[in-house]
Amino acid sequence: MIGDKWEEFAKRVKAGEDAGKVLDDLGVKRYCCRRMLLSHVEIIDEIVRFYEKGTMEKEDVM
Amino acid sequence: MDLRILEKNENSMRFVVTGISTPLANTLRRIILAEVPCMAIDDVIMIENSSVLHDEILALRLGLIPLKTDLDGYNLPEECTCNSELGCNLCRVVLTLDVEAVDETRTVYSEDLVSEDPNIVPVSSKIPIVKLAPGQKVRLEAYAKLGRGVAHAKWQPVSACAYRYVPTVEIDKDVCDNCGDCVDVCPVGVLEKTEDGVKVVNEFECTLCEDCVDACKKNPAAIKVSGNREAFVFYIESTGALPVERIITEALEIYKSKFKEFANQIAVIRNGSEKTD
Protein backbone atom coordinates (compact mmCIF):
# COMPACT_ATOMS: atom_id res chain seq x y z
CA MET A 1 0.00 0.00 0.00
CA ILE A 2 1.39 3.38 -1.01
CA GLY A 3 -1.45 5.69 0.06
CA ASP A 4 0.23 6.67 3.31
CA LYS A 5 3.70 7.13 1.85
CA TRP A 6 3.18 10.20 -0.33
CA GLU A 7 3.61 12.86 2.32
CA GLU A 8 6.90 11.52 3.62
CA PHE A 9 8.14 10.98 0.08
CA ALA A 10 7.23 14.53 -1.00
CA LYS A 11 8.73 16.07 2.11
CA ARG A 12 12.04 14.25 1.85
CA VAL A 13 12.45 14.81 -1.88
CA LYS A 14 11.75 18.51 -1.38
CA ALA A 15 14.43 18.56 1.32
CA GLY A 16 16.90 17.47 -1.35
CA GLU A 17 17.09 13.71 -0.92
CA ASP A 18 17.43 11.44 -3.94
CA ALA A 19 13.93 10.23 -4.94
CA GLY A 20 15.11 6.70 -5.72
CA LYS A 21 16.78 6.34 -2.35
CA VAL A 22 13.69 7.61 -0.52
CA LEU A 23 11.57 5.03 -2.33
CA ASP A 24 14.02 2.26 -1.39
CA ASP A 25 13.90 3.50 2.16
CA LEU A 26 10.10 3.46 2.24
CA GLY A 27 10.14 -0.13 0.98
CA VAL A 28 8.45 0.71 -2.33
CA LYS A 29 9.96 -2.01 -4.53
CA ARG A 30 7.88 -2.55 -7.67
CA TYR A 31 8.32 -0.05 -10.48
CA CYS A 32 4.57 0.30 -10.89
CA CYS A 33 4.36 1.52 -7.26
CA ARG A 34 7.42 3.72 -7.64
CA ARG A 35 6.13 5.53 -10.71
CA MET A 36 2.89 6.40 -8.86
CA LEU A 37 4.84 8.43 -6.33
CA LEU A 38 7.53 9.68 -8.75
CA SER A 39 5.11 11.04 -11.32
CA HIS A 40 2.44 12.35 -8.97
CA VAL A 41 1.62 16.06 -9.13
CA GLU A 42 -0.25 17.35 -6.09
CA ILE A 43 -2.71 19.58 -8.00
CA ILE A 44 -4.89 20.17 -4.93
CA ASP A 45 -2.20 22.50 -3.54
CA GLU A 46 -2.59 24.69 -6.64
CA ILE A 47 -6.36 24.90 -6.23
CA VAL A 48 -6.56 25.20 -2.45
CA ARG A 49 -4.29 28.27 -2.75
CA PHE A 50 -7.12 30.33 -4.27
CA TYR A 51 -9.46 29.48 -1.42
CA GLU A 52 -6.81 30.34 1.14
CA LYS A 53 -6.33 33.71 -0.57
CA GLY A 54 -10.08 34.27 -0.70
CA THR A 55 -10.48 33.95 3.06
CA MET A 56 -7.54 36.22 3.68
CA GLU A 57 -8.97 38.97 1.47
CA LYS A 58 -12.33 38.73 3.22
CA GLU A 59 -10.58 39.26 6.50
CA ASP A 60 -8.78 42.30 5.10
CA VAL A 61 -12.06 43.90 4.07
CA MET A 62 -13.49 43.35 7.51
CA MET B 1 1.73 -31.81 -2.68
CA ASP B 2 4.35 -30.00 -0.71
CA LEU B 3 4.29 -26.48 0.73
CA ARG B 4 7.30 -24.51 1.86
CA ILE B 5 7.22 -20.95 3.17
CA LEU B 6 10.23 -18.96 1.97
CA GLU B 7 9.54 -15.63 3.54
CA LYS B 8 6.80 -14.20 5.69
CA ASN B 9 6.31 -10.63 6.78
CA GLU B 10 3.44 -8.80 8.42
CA ASN B 11 1.58 -8.32 5.15
CA SER B 12 3.26 -10.54 2.61
CA MET B 13 4.24 -14.14 2.07
CA ARG B 14 6.40 -15.99 -0.44
CA PHE B 15 6.00 -19.75 -0.64
CA VAL B 16 6.66 -22.72 -2.90
CA VAL B 17 3.97 -25.22 -3.75
CA THR B 18 5.14 -28.42 -5.42
CA GLY B 19 2.96 -31.02 -7.10
CA ILE B 20 0.03 -28.96 -8.37
CA SER B 21 -0.91 -28.15 -11.97
CA THR B 22 -0.75 -24.71 -13.61
CA PRO B 23 -4.57 -24.48 -13.88
CA LEU B 24 -4.90 -25.07 -10.13
CA ALA B 25 -2.25 -22.48 -9.30
CA ASN B 26 -4.01 -20.00 -11.58
CA THR B 27 -7.39 -20.82 -10.03
CA LEU B 28 -6.00 -19.96 -6.62
CA ARG B 29 -4.59 -16.69 -7.95
CA ARG B 30 -7.82 -15.70 -9.65
CA ILE B 31 -9.99 -16.56 -6.65
CA ILE B 32 -7.76 -14.43 -4.42
CA LEU B 33 -8.00 -11.50 -6.84
CA ALA B 34 -11.68 -11.70 -7.66
CA GLU B 35 -13.59 -13.70 -5.05
CA VAL B 36 -12.14 -13.33 -1.56
CA PRO B 37 -14.30 -10.66 0.10
CA CYS B 38 -13.07 -7.71 2.08
CA MET B 39 -14.51 -4.46 3.44
CA ALA B 40 -14.52 -1.18 1.54
CA ILE B 41 -16.59 1.98 1.68
CA ASP B 42 -19.37 1.72 -0.88
CA ASP B 43 -22.23 4.19 -0.36
CA VAL B 44 -21.41 7.68 0.84
CA ILE B 45 -24.00 10.17 2.02
CA MET B 46 -22.72 13.72 1.73
CA ILE B 47 -24.11 16.07 4.33
CA GLU B 48 -21.79 18.92 3.58
CA ASN B 49 -18.83 19.23 1.25
CA SER B 50 -17.31 22.61 0.58
CA SER B 51 -13.88 21.19 -0.26
CA VAL B 52 -12.32 21.60 -3.69
CA LEU B 53 -13.00 17.95 -4.53
CA HIS B 54 -16.35 17.02 -6.03
CA ASP B 55 -18.57 14.64 -4.03
CA GLU B 56 -17.97 11.70 -6.37
CA ILE B 57 -14.20 12.10 -6.31
CA LEU B 58 -14.23 12.27 -2.53
CA ALA B 59 -16.39 9.12 -2.44
CA LEU B 60 -14.00 7.34 -4.80
CA ARG B 61 -11.05 8.25 -2.62
CA LEU B 62 -12.87 6.95 0.45
CA GLY B 63 -13.71 3.70 -1.35
CA LEU B 64 -10.08 3.02 -2.12
CA ILE B 65 -8.94 3.21 1.52
CA PRO B 66 -8.22 -0.36 2.66
CA LEU B 67 -10.18 -1.27 5.78
CA LYS B 68 -9.34 -3.94 8.33
CA THR B 69 -11.90 -6.65 7.71
CA ASP B 70 -13.77 -8.97 10.04
CA LEU B 71 -14.98 -11.72 7.71
CA ASP B 72 -16.77 -13.72 10.40
CA GLY B 73 -18.74 -10.82 11.85
CA TYR B 74 -20.38 -9.59 8.66
CA ASN B 75 -22.45 -10.92 5.77
CA LEU B 76 -22.08 -10.08 2.12
CA PRO B 77 -24.94 -7.62 1.38
CA GLU B 78 -26.37 -9.94 -1.31
CA GLU B 79 -26.44 -12.85 1.14
CA CYS B 80 -27.83 -10.86 4.07
CA THR B 81 -31.41 -11.40 5.18
CA CYS B 82 -32.13 -7.67 5.60
CA ASN B 83 -32.60 -7.01 1.85
CA SER B 84 -32.30 -3.29 2.46
CA GLU B 85 -30.50 -0.87 0.21
CA LEU B 86 -28.16 0.58 2.81
CA GLY B 87 -27.83 -2.65 4.79
CA CYS B 88 -28.25 -3.58 8.44
CA ASN B 89 -25.90 -4.12 11.38
CA LEU B 90 -24.94 -7.52 9.97
CA CYS B 91 -23.82 -6.34 6.56
CA ARG B 92 -22.50 -2.80 6.84
CA VAL B 93 -20.46 -0.51 9.05
CA VAL B 94 -21.05 3.22 9.21
CA LEU B 95 -18.02 5.49 9.27
CA THR B 96 -18.50 9.18 9.79
CA LEU B 97 -16.27 12.04 8.80
CA ASP B 98 -16.78 15.51 10.24
CA VAL B 99 -13.88 17.87 9.70
CA GLU B 100 -13.59 21.61 9.37
CA ALA B 101 -10.49 23.68 8.73
CA VAL B 102 -10.64 26.64 11.07
CA ASP B 103 -7.54 28.83 11.07
CA GLU B 104 -5.25 27.18 8.60
CA THR B 105 -5.26 24.74 5.72
CA ARG B 106 -5.39 21.17 6.97
CA THR B 107 -5.24 17.71 5.47
CA VAL B 108 -8.01 15.24 6.23
CA TYR B 109 -6.52 11.81 6.94
CA SER B 110 -8.00 8.33 7.06
CA GLU B 111 -7.70 8.52 10.86
CA ASP B 112 -10.40 11.22 10.88
CA LEU B 113 -12.94 8.58 9.87
CA VAL B 114 -14.87 7.51 12.95
CA SER B 115 -16.08 3.92 12.74
CA GLU B 116 -19.00 2.47 14.68
CA ASP B 117 -17.10 -0.83 14.89
CA PRO B 118 -13.57 -0.58 16.34
CA ASN B 119 -12.56 -3.68 14.31
CA ILE B 120 -13.41 -2.07 10.98
CA VAL B 121 -11.01 0.85 10.66
CA PRO B 122 -8.62 2.05 7.95
CA VAL B 123 -5.48 -0.08 7.68
CA SER B 124 -3.33 3.02 7.85
CA SER B 125 -4.19 6.18 9.74
CA LYS B 126 -2.11 8.46 7.55
CA ILE B 127 -3.76 8.23 4.13
CA PRO B 128 -4.54 11.78 2.93
CA ILE B 129 -8.13 12.17 1.75
CA VAL B 130 -8.46 15.88 0.94
CA LYS B 131 -6.99 19.25 1.83
CA LEU B 132 -9.27 21.89 3.30
CA ALA B 133 -8.68 25.62 3.14
CA PRO B 134 -9.78 27.71 6.15
CA GLY B 135 -13.56 27.72 6.37
CA GLN B 136 -14.05 24.60 4.25
CA LYS B 137 -15.94 21.68 5.72
CA VAL B 138 -16.59 18.02 5.00
CA ARG B 139 -19.36 16.13 6.74
CA LEU B 140 -20.41 12.73 5.50
CA GLU B 141 -21.58 9.24 6.37
CA ALA B 142 -19.82 6.35 4.64
CA TYR B 143 -21.23 2.82 4.48
CA ALA B 144 -18.57 0.13 4.35
CA LYS B 145 -19.66 -3.26 3.04
CA LEU B 146 -18.14 -6.59 2.19
CA GLY B 147 -17.60 -7.06 -1.52
CA ARG B 148 -15.59 -9.01 -4.05
CA GLY B 149 -12.82 -7.99 -6.43
CA VAL B 150 -14.99 -8.91 -9.46
CA ALA B 151 -17.17 -5.88 -8.76
CA HIS B 152 -14.47 -3.32 -8.00
CA ALA B 153 -10.72 -3.38 -7.31
CA LYS B 154 -11.34 -1.68 -3.94
CA TRP B 155 -12.61 -5.08 -2.74
CA GLN B 156 -9.38 -6.89 -3.55
CA PRO B 157 -7.70 -8.01 -0.34
CA VAL B 158 -4.29 -8.11 -2.04
CA SER B 159 -2.03 -5.52 -3.60
CA ALA B 160 -0.03 -8.24 -5.34
CA CYS B 161 -0.76 -11.88 -6.06
CA ALA B 162 1.41 -13.73 -8.53
CA TYR B 163 3.11 -17.04 -9.15
CA ARG B 164 5.93 -18.28 -11.34
CA TYR B 165 7.54 -21.60 -12.12
CA VAL B 166 10.39 -22.74 -9.90
CA PRO B 167 13.43 -22.18 -12.14
CA THR B 168 16.28 -24.57 -12.97
CA VAL B 169 19.51 -23.28 -14.49
CA GLU B 170 21.95 -25.82 -15.93
CA ILE B 171 25.38 -25.22 -17.40
CA ASP B 172 27.02 -27.71 -19.71
CA LYS B 173 30.60 -27.68 -18.38
CA ASP B 174 31.96 -29.40 -21.50
CA VAL B 175 30.68 -26.65 -23.80
CA CYS B 176 31.09 -23.55 -21.57
CA ASP B 177 34.33 -21.59 -22.22
CA ASN B 178 33.88 -19.35 -19.15
CA CYS B 179 33.64 -16.13 -21.20
CA GLY B 180 31.35 -14.57 -18.57
CA ASP B 181 28.91 -12.96 -21.02
CA CYS B 182 25.95 -14.71 -19.37
CA VAL B 183 27.10 -13.53 -15.92
CA ASP B 184 27.15 -9.89 -17.08
CA VAL B 185 23.76 -10.02 -18.79
CA CYS B 186 21.78 -11.65 -15.95
CA PRO B 187 19.56 -8.95 -14.36
CA VAL B 188 19.12 -10.74 -11.03
CA GLY B 189 22.62 -12.16 -10.45
CA VAL B 190 21.94 -15.87 -10.72
CA LEU B 191 25.39 -16.68 -12.10
CA GLU B 192 28.92 -16.12 -10.91
CA LYS B 193 32.21 -16.36 -12.78
CA THR B 194 34.77 -18.51 -10.98
CA GLU B 195 38.09 -20.06 -11.94
CA ASP B 196 36.51 -23.44 -12.62
CA GLY B 197 33.77 -22.09 -14.90
CA VAL B 198 30.48 -20.25 -14.51
CA LYS B 199 28.61 -21.32 -11.39
CA VAL B 200 24.90 -21.10 -10.57
CA VAL B 201 24.80 -19.31 -7.23
CA ASN B 202 21.31 -17.89 -6.96
CA GLU B 203 19.13 -20.26 -8.94
CA PHE B 204 15.91 -19.37 -7.14
CA GLU B 205 15.97 -15.74 -8.22
CA CYS B 206 15.99 -16.64 -11.93
CA THR B 207 13.04 -15.04 -13.75
CA LEU B 208 13.35 -17.33 -16.81
CA CYS B 209 14.12 -14.34 -19.06
CA GLU B 210 16.67 -16.44 -21.01
CA ASP B 211 18.95 -13.45 -21.66
CA CYS B 212 21.87 -15.69 -20.63
CA VAL B 213 20.93 -18.23 -23.29
CA ASP B 214 20.88 -15.48 -25.94
CA ALA B 215 24.19 -14.07 -24.68
CA CYS B 216 25.98 -17.43 -24.99
CA LYS B 217 28.14 -17.52 -28.13
CA LYS B 218 28.06 -21.31 -28.34
CA ASN B 219 25.54 -23.04 -30.56
CA PRO B 220 23.64 -24.74 -29.01
CA ALA B 221 24.07 -22.59 -25.91
CA ALA B 222 26.04 -23.98 -22.99
CA ILE B 223 23.38 -22.78 -20.58
CA LYS B 224 19.87 -24.11 -20.22
CA VAL B 225 17.07 -22.43 -18.31
CA SER B 226 13.78 -24.15 -17.62
CA GLY B 227 10.78 -23.83 -15.34
CA ASN B 228 9.36 -26.69 -13.35
CA ARG B 229 5.71 -26.86 -14.47
CA GLU B 230 4.63 -28.58 -11.29
CA ALA B 231 6.27 -26.26 -8.77
CA PHE B 232 5.27 -22.66 -8.20
CA VAL B 233 6.69 -19.74 -6.29
CA PHE B 234 3.73 -17.74 -5.03
CA TYR B 235 3.97 -14.19 -3.83
CA ILE B 236 0.96 -12.75 -2.02
CA GLU B 237 0.91 -9.27 -0.57
CA SER B 238 -2.10 -8.24 1.49
CA THR B 239 -3.38 -4.66 1.58
CA GLY B 240 -3.67 -5.16 5.32
CA ALA B 241 -7.41 -5.89 5.14
CA LEU B 242 -6.89 -9.56 6.02
CA PRO B 243 -3.89 -11.63 7.13
CA VAL B 244 -2.28 -13.47 4.19
CA GLU B 245 -3.04 -16.90 5.69
CA ARG B 246 -6.71 -16.01 6.00
CA ILE B 247 -6.81 -14.89 2.36
CA ILE B 248 -5.42 -18.24 1.23
CA THR B 249 -7.68 -20.40 3.41
CA GLU B 250 -10.69 -18.30 2.40
CA ALA B 251 -9.75 -18.73 -1.29
CA LEU B 252 -9.56 -22.49 -0.85
CA GLU B 253 -12.95 -22.55 0.93
CA ILE B 254 -14.46 -20.62 -1.99
CA TYR B 255 -12.86 -23.04 -4.44
CA LYS B 256 -14.33 -25.97 -2.52
CA SER B 257 -17.83 -24.52 -2.49
CA LYS B 258 -17.65 -23.65 -6.20
CA PHE B 259 -16.61 -27.21 -6.97
CA LYS B 260 -19.45 -28.58 -4.83
CA GLU B 261 -21.89 -26.34 -6.69
CA PHE B 262 -20.51 -27.67 -9.98
CA ALA B 263 -20.95 -31.29 -8.82
CA ASN B 264 -24.53 -30.49 -7.75
CA GLN B 265 -25.32 -28.98 -11.15
CA ILE B 266 -24.03 -32.09 -12.88
CA ALA B 267 -26.13 -34.27 -10.59
CA VAL B 268 -29.21 -32.19 -11.48
CA ILE B 269 -28.53 -32.55 -15.20
CA ARG B 270 -27.96 -36.27 -14.85
CA ASN B 271 -31.15 -36.78 -12.84
CA GLY B 272 -33.08 -34.69 -15.35
CA SER B 273 -31.90 -36.68 -18.36
CA GLU B 274 -32.69 -39.97 -16.60
CA LYS B 275 -36.27 -38.82 -16.13
CA THR B 276 -36.69 -37.83 -19.80
CA ASP B 277 -35.22 -41.16 -20.92
Give chain B's domain count.
2
Instruction: List CB contacts (< 8 A) between A47 and chain B.
Output: 52
B6, B46: one domain: no
B150, B44: one domain: yes
Asked if residue B40 has pLDDT above 80, the reply is yes
B129, B44: one domain: yes
Average pLDDT estimate for B169-179:
89
B185, B227: one domain: yes
B93, B76: one domain: yes
Residue B8 sits in which domain range? 2-34+159-237
Asked if residue B276 has pLDDT above 80, the reply is no
* Residue B267 placed within a domain: no
Rounded to a whole number, what is the distance in Å from the CA of A16 to chain B's nearest CA?
A: 23
Give chain A's domain count.
1
- Look up residue B234 and give its amino acid: F
| Positive or negative torsion for Cα B3, B7, B10, B13 | negative
End-of-domain residue from the set B130, B155, B180? B155
* Residue B147 placed within a domain: yes
B14, B119: one domain: no
* Residue B207 placed within a domain: yes
Q: Which residue of B has its CA nearest to A8?
A: B126
Contact across the interface for A44 and B130, Cβ inside 8 Å: yes
Rounded CA-CA distance B176/B174 in Å is 6
Contact across the interface for A3 and B65, Cβ inside 8 Å: yes
pLDDT score recorded for residue B29: 97
End-of-domain residue from the set B102, B127, B155? B155
End-of-domain residue from the set B131, B155, B179? B155
Domain harbouring B212, CATH code? 3.30.1360.10
* Residue B66 placed within a domain: yes
B142, B109: one domain: yes
Asked if residue B87 has pLDDT above 90, the reply is no
Rounded CA-CA distance B58/A61 in Å is 32
In contact, B69 and B169? CB cutoff 8 Å: no
B136, B205: one domain: no
Report CA-CA distances (Å) from B168 to B24, B98, B233: 21, 57, 13
Instruction: List CB contacts (< 8 A) between A45 and chain B.
Output: 131
Element (H, E) at B261: helix B244-276
Domain harbouring A57, CATH code? 1.10.10.60
pLDDT score recorded for residue B219: 85
B70, B47: one domain: yes
Which residues, 6+ apart, have CB-to-CB distance to B119 below 8 Å? B68, B70, B73
Q: Which of B126, B134, B240 sits opposite A52 (nearest CB)?
A: B134
B19, B57: one domain: no
Average pLDDT estimate for B74-88:
89
* Residue B269 placed within a domain: no
Asked if residue A60 has pLDDT above 60, the reply is no
* Residue B67 placed within a domain: yes
Which residues, 6+ apart, have CB-to-CB distance to B194 below 8 Å? none
* Residue B256 placed within a domain: no
pLDDT score recorded for residue B218: 87
* Residue B150 placed within a domain: yes
Rounded to a whole number, what is the distance in Å from the CA of A4 to chain B's nearest CA?
A: 4
Asked if residue B197 has pLDDT above 60, the reply is yes
pLDDT-derived band at A56, boundaries 50, 70, 90 = low
Average pLDDT estimate for B199-222:
89
Asked if residue B28 has pLDDT above 70, the reply is yes
CA B212 to chain CA centroid, nearest Å: 31
Average pLDDT estimate for B101-130:
95
The answer, for A30 touching chain B at a CB cutoff of 8 Å, is: yes
Asked if residue B264 has pLDDT above 90, the reply is yes
Q: Which of B64, B124, B135 sits opposite A4 (nearest CB)?
A: B124
| DSSP state letters, B181-224 | HHHHH-TT--EEEETTEEEE--GGG-----HHHHH--SSS-SEE
Asked if residue A41 has pLDDT above 80, the reply is yes
Asked if residue A62 has pLDDT above 60, the reply is no
pLDDT score recorded for residue B277: 58
pLDDT score recorded for residue A59: 57
Residue A32 sits in which domain range? 3-61
Asked if residue B273 has pLDDT above 80, the reply is no
The span from the first CA to the last CA of chain A, in angstroms, equals 46
B90, B187: one domain: no
pLDDT score recorded for residue A61: 54
B212, B174: one domain: yes
Average pLDDT estimate for B109-118:
95
Rounded to a whole number, what is the distance in Å from the CA of B207 to chain A's nearest CA?
A: 15
pTM over 0.90? The answer is: no
Q: Name the interface residues of B facing A (CB cutoff 8 Å).
A: 52-53, 64-66, 105, 107, 110, 123-128, 130-136, 159-160, 239-240
Rounded CA-CA distance B182/B196 in Å is 15
Domain harbouring B97, CATH code? 2.170.120.12
